Chains A and B, each alone.
Chain A
Amino acid sequence: MITLQTADLVRILPEIVLSIFGILVMVLEPFVAAAQKKLLGWMALLGVLAAATATVRTSFEPGLAFGGTIAADEFSIYFIYLFLLTAGLVILGSIDYLERNHAQHGEFYALVLLGTVGMCFMAASTDLIMIFLGLEISSISTYILAGFRRADRLSNEAALKYFLLGSFATAFFLYGIAFVYGLTGTTNLLGLSARLMEPSQWTTFARVALVLMFVGLAFKLSTVPFQVWTPDVYQGAPAPVTAFLSVGPKAAAFAVLLRLFLGGFASAGTVSFWILWISAALTMCLGNLAALWQTNVKRLLAYSSIAHAGYILVGVAAGGSRGISAVLFYLVAYALMNVGAFIMVAHLSGTGERLVQIEDYTGLAFERPGVAACLAVFFLSLAGFPTTAGFLGKFYVFRAAIHSHLIGLTVLALLNSVVSVYYYLRIVVAMYMREGKTEAATVELPWPVRTALAVSVLGIFYLGLAPKLPLGLSTLAALPLPK
């Protein structure tokens, strides 16, 4: 019998705080006048800050909670901060976006907070059932968010597709859990690794379980061939939601993947290695090749985020503490540049997201040098240009891969990053090398958006130029996972 102790509650304090604020925002929504709905956004942001403070308290009391189903360790705390950063930036970037698109409703912020709760649980869980619950909490919130521009056909389509295919994929994950339980009699990751110690225990059914669970996660990671939904959903969802979608659930799925494949399933060895290798290779290649021909910036960024999942998978395949910390570092870099880029796209697109083609950015640098420079920083970082976070992220992942003797995969990744430069540069070219009057240049950027963008740009340079502290943290966060 599990008895509830204070320590248990402290170890899920960030999730509790986020949930309270989420519910509060939802409950207060009817009582706030239409013109004052912005306040709910600020309240949600306050919730994020409160949760960040609460996480400090949690970090003083590390350990397992709720009968070993939740772990408050360096790994989960690292991810919780990553999710809070993402949520904070997205909220800052959404307040004025929703205002302009006449979609200022409190649910938006509540759903962002609750989705974040789900992700935090995914990263912190050490039990398959808890992981599944976290997955569902975050999924359902994001399904609704994807359709938040209710009047827009594409947005509705995105939500429905995401929902249907998402439940389809979740079914695979659940099926995999059932197999695992049937084989080992436990859903606890520690128990799992104790029962599946020998490679010889990887019988047919165990492999089936592994593949099924990988598929469930691969959907969230959007790795090939489970990426099909990504371009349509990223394009259709409101841009700030896409920012959230492209980072939050993906990072959470990576957290689970790391805990599962390098933790519970560590003994699977070559079985899990090749699944990662193949997925990484296919995902990088398809993401980059398909991105080459996109004319819609949101769709281009969707393919780019597929490609980035491929690079990160290279780090997972490399494994070891070096591979894990490289993945953790990469995820922060990825969060900053991707959220930054999508928020910028959200605001340049004007009312109703009309201006999302590359040619809509023509000559932007001449009218708005600061805005263009900012966007150029995001794209150059995504392309992996030195001095930016994106470069160091790639550098550490590739270095880890070389250490693990994944020479072929590294060469493929390098070639891919060569190809990727081409499409990132197309946008830079449009902004800097073509003249034209663009309507995007007239868009106002209110100060909350500017704050979010400034945080992203400064973060990108901070990680790129003085990564001492974040690197140390990512190395620390990799410690709890078995080597």
Chain B
Amino acid sequence: MHFLNYIWLIPVLPVLGAAIQLLLGRRLSNKAVSAVSVGLPGLSFLWALGCFFQLLSLPAQANHTFTKVLYSWLPAGAFHLADGSLAHLNVYVGFQLDPLSSVMMLVVTGVGFLIHVYSIGYMGHEGGYYRFFGYLNLFMFSMLVLVLADNYLMMFVGWEGVGLSSYFLIGFYFHRKSASDAGKKAFVVNRIGDAAFLLGMMLMAVTFGTLDFLPITEAARGGRFAVGDGVITAICILLFIGAAGKSAQIPLYVWLPDAMEGPTPVSALIHAATMVTAGVYMVARSNALYVLAPTALALVGAIGAATAIWAASIGLVQNDIKRVLAYSTVSQLGYMFLACGVGAFGAGIFHLMTHAFFKALLFLGAGSVIHALSGEQDLRKMGALWRKIPTTAWTMLAATLAISGAPLLSGFFSKDEILWQAFASPYGNKLLWSVGVVTAGLTAFYMFRLFFLTFAGNSRVPHEVEQHIHESPSSMTVPLICLGLGAVGAGYVGWPKVLGGSNWFGRFLDPVFENPALRPALQHTWNLEFGLMLLSVGVALVGFFGAYRWYAKQPGIAERVAAAAGAGYTLLLNKYYIDELYDALFVNRAKDLGSALAAFDLGVVDGGVNGVGWSTRMSAELSRLWDTWVIDGLVNVLAFVVKVLSYPARVLQTGLLQSYAWFITLGVFIFMVYYLIYF
């Protein structure tokens, strides 16, 4: 069978499911709904696999690129380009499968299918089962159109489609006001980015005379444009604003944490594994343009790095299990943009792929925990779940290790590739690199904090909930295990040369990103790269031990700690004091500023570690305040301004004929005066 020729089936199969659910779903049983809506994405995953293997077997000179044009969507209109030459803008409905889109396609269909399976168990007791699957199928369709499109306009179609379905899914629990508010916030913030994307696209159309990926890439690499070309830079910056909206980067990241109001499988699929990475994909897809715009690249890198550390610091103090993961996602997306910003697009996509596995797993695991605890999301009301839900715990451990960069797990390979590129690439620098390393430490800390608070220590679960704790059904645990295997092993495709591998993944993507300007400035010295690798592992270990000291060794298990060492006792004492400070900071920030300073003194006396911990917490608190007061404040101010601006318009609408006539006369008068005086 020739899979590639029918590549359009991959997005079409899920949309069939969506149509069936949304029009007939009410009359179907839950079983039938699951069969249709999980089966069709499953089929589309199988088809994607077929396409992938046929792509690999294409002759090498084709650069592993396959395009299939279905029909002409917007026909040619001849027009003059900005430089005066004549062009025909012709947009096709066409699909392009190359190494880059095939990675995205497999991630979307593969992880997507697993999350569909998981949802059978997770959403089984919820109302609106068919609606949920209808929207989820609609999302799969849009996302697949986004990644398989062969031109920017079709990509934009998918881009808007994922926005719409994400909006429906965030607001799925619509009886909670916060949920529908979050949906609206997400949609509106995204539209700001979309407007910039659209503008960038128009600028591309007038500059290149086409919106297709291949000709634009060709033109950009053809030497027609100088490096630093103003128009190209403008296009790149506009596209990046679009990407920042979709992929939750500073300053448009505010919608993502709120989006956690949606059901957990949605958080896993849309707000961790796939949709939010669309911006990274778009920037990587436009790599030929970005290479011509060093200013835009620097902006991408700087915003990426800033977002990574910013979000990670906020993640340190969140108590809602899903919010920790949400900030972690924002931070990891920052890593991917950091990679793109230093010209290491391949490394960014590599991290995108591994992240899809471990972050989807973390969310689904969190969902399984929430499911076991009858809906509880507060980390302070968990603990000691290790033996009660072992499958969830083991898979979560794998994912936590992977995201923290534990050696030989998937996250380790991709994160180190990014850090090495930030250090060695001609676009990288030591500052970006060091921000990346510090973030790695913070990541290990907050992830293990989450893990220990959930699974280790004493149980803080209320008694009545504790009696109902149960491991999730197999429809939920099997996807966890599959993703766990991915979280452990997905990195092996990119085993780096420094560890004796061949970085197959990097070479596979090379045809898409090939560019002499991107060769590392530094020689690939084994010692240096290996040394940096050890350093980042060391930093992650520091984060891990920090979390271990503060969250695993609690007063509840004091016997063991006291027995271990006397020094452990002192540590416990400090821990106790930090907790007090922590509470004070949250309960009454202004009043306790003095005692906070005192605690800082104590912390310094007690060996620096606590001091560092405190200041990180303080800065995290500050960024949270920034969020609450400045960002939300700005949104409110904006809403107010809009309201005020529309006030005269509404006041003029008196309903009185005479005043209307006066208004018209006034308009005539103004136009007249304007024309008689100024022209």
> Residues on A close to B: CB < 8 A?
160-161, 164-165, 168-169, 172, 202, 204, 207-208, 210-212, 214-215, 219, 224-226, 228-229, 231-232, 270-271, 275, 285-286, 289-290, 292-293, 322, 366, 369-370, 373, 380, 385-387, 392, 395, 398-399, 402-403, 410-411, 414-415, 417-419, 421-422, 425, 429, 432-435, 465-468, 471-472, 475
Contacts and interface: CB of A to CB of B under 8 A. Distances in A.
Contacts of B187: 421, 425
Given A290-B649, A398-B202, A429-B174, 15 more contacts: A165-B661, A202-B679, A210-B675, A215-B667, A225-B666, A228-B652, A270-B679, A292-B642, A293-B650, A385-B164, A395-B198, A418-B195, A425-B184, A429-B171, A467-B75
A219 B671 CA distance: 14
Nearest to B155: A386
B74 to A, nearest CB: 6
A395 B205 CA distance: 11
A293 B156 CA distance: 29
Contacts of A215: 664, 667-668, 671
B180 interface: yes
Interface in B103-156: 153, 156
Nearest to A420: B191
Contacts of A165: 657, 660-661, 664
28 contacts: A165-B657, A207-B679, A211-B672, A215-B671, A224-B667, A225-B664, A225-B670, A228-B652, A229-B660, A271-B675, A285-B645, A286-B649, A289-B645, A292-B646, A322-B77, A386-B156, A386-B160, A398-B202, A402-B206, A403-B206, A410-B199, A411-B199, A425-B184, A433-B183, A434-B174, A468-B73, A468-B75, A475-B77
Contacts of A471: 74-75, 77
B22 interface: yes
A364 B529 CA distance: 61
Contacts of B670: 225
Nearest to A475: B77
A229 B194 CA distance: 34
B72 A399 contact: no
B438 interface: no
B663 interface: yes
A387 B645 CA distance: 32
Nearest to B672: A211
A475 B23 CA distance: 38
Given A292-B642, A433-B180, A475-B77, A232 B655 contact: yes
B664 A290 contact: no
Given A168-B664, A207-B675, A226-B667, A373 B646 contact: no
B188 A421 contact: yes
A418 B192 contact: yes
Contacts of B676: 204, 207-208
A114 to B, nearest CB: 26
A210 B668 CA distance: 11
State the main secondary structure of chain B at its contact with A: helix
B71 interface: yes
Q: Ordered nearest first, which 6 A-B pairs have the shortest CB separation?
A: A225-B667, A433-B174, A289-B646, A386-B157, A228-B660, A414-B195
B22 A415 contact: no
B206 A419 contact: no
B175 interface: yes
Interface string B170-191: 0100110000100110011001
Interface residues of B, number: 62
Contacts of B174: 429, 433-435
A398 B74 CA distance: 15
A435 B164 contact: no
B282 to A, nearest CB: 15
Contact of A369 (B22, B650, B679): B22
Interface string B194-223: 110011001101100000000000000000
Given A322-B77, A471-B75, A275 B671 contact: yes
Contacts of B650: 290, 293
B667 to A, nearest CB: 4
A228 B82 CA distance: 40
Contact of B671 (A204, A214, A433): A214
Nearest to B645: A289
B664 A169 contact: yes
Contacts of B668: 172, 211-212, 215
B661 A168 contact: yes
A370 B664 contact: no
Contact of A399 (B73, B202, B660): B202
Nearest to B72: A468
Contact of A370 (B23, B72, B167, B168): B23
A379 to B, nearest CB: 12
B157 A467 contact: no
Interface string B12-51: 0000000000110110000000000000000000000000
Contacts of A369: 22-23, 25-26
B161 interface: yes
A290 B188 CA distance: 18
A293 B79 contact: no
A431 to B, nearest CB: 11
Contacts of A207: 675-676, 679
B14 to A, nearest CB: 15
Nearest to B662: A228
A207 to B, nearest CB: 5
B653 interface: yes
B642 A419 contact: yes
Contacts of B23: 369-370, 373
A210 B660 CA distance: 22
A322 B79 CA distance: 9
Contacts of B167: 425
Best-surrounded residue of B157, B203, B206, B649 (most CB of chain A within 10 A): B649
Contacts of B198: 395, 398, 414
Best-surrounded residue of B72, B168, B675, B679 (most CB of chain A within 10 A): B675
Nearest to B127: A435
Best-surrounded residue of A207, A212, A270 (most CB of chain B within 10 A): A207
A289 B206 contact: no
Nearest to A419: B642
A319 B516 CA distance: 44
Nearest to B193: A418
Contacts of B645: 285, 289
A380 B71 CA distance: 24
A210 B676 CA distance: 12
Contacts of B664: 165, 168-169, 215, 219, 225-226, 228
A271 B671 CA distance: 11
Contacts of B667: 215, 224-226
A293 B646 contact: yes
Nearest to A279: B671
Given A232-B655, A421-B188, A225 B663 contact: yes
A392 B195 CA distance: 14
A169 B159 CA distance: 44
Contacts of B184: 422, 425, 429
Nearest to A231: B653
Contact of A402 (B180, B203, B649, B675): B203
Nearest to A207: B675
Given A219-B664, A232-B655, A386-B160, A466 B71 contact: yes
Contacts of A164: 657, 661
Nearest to B173: A433
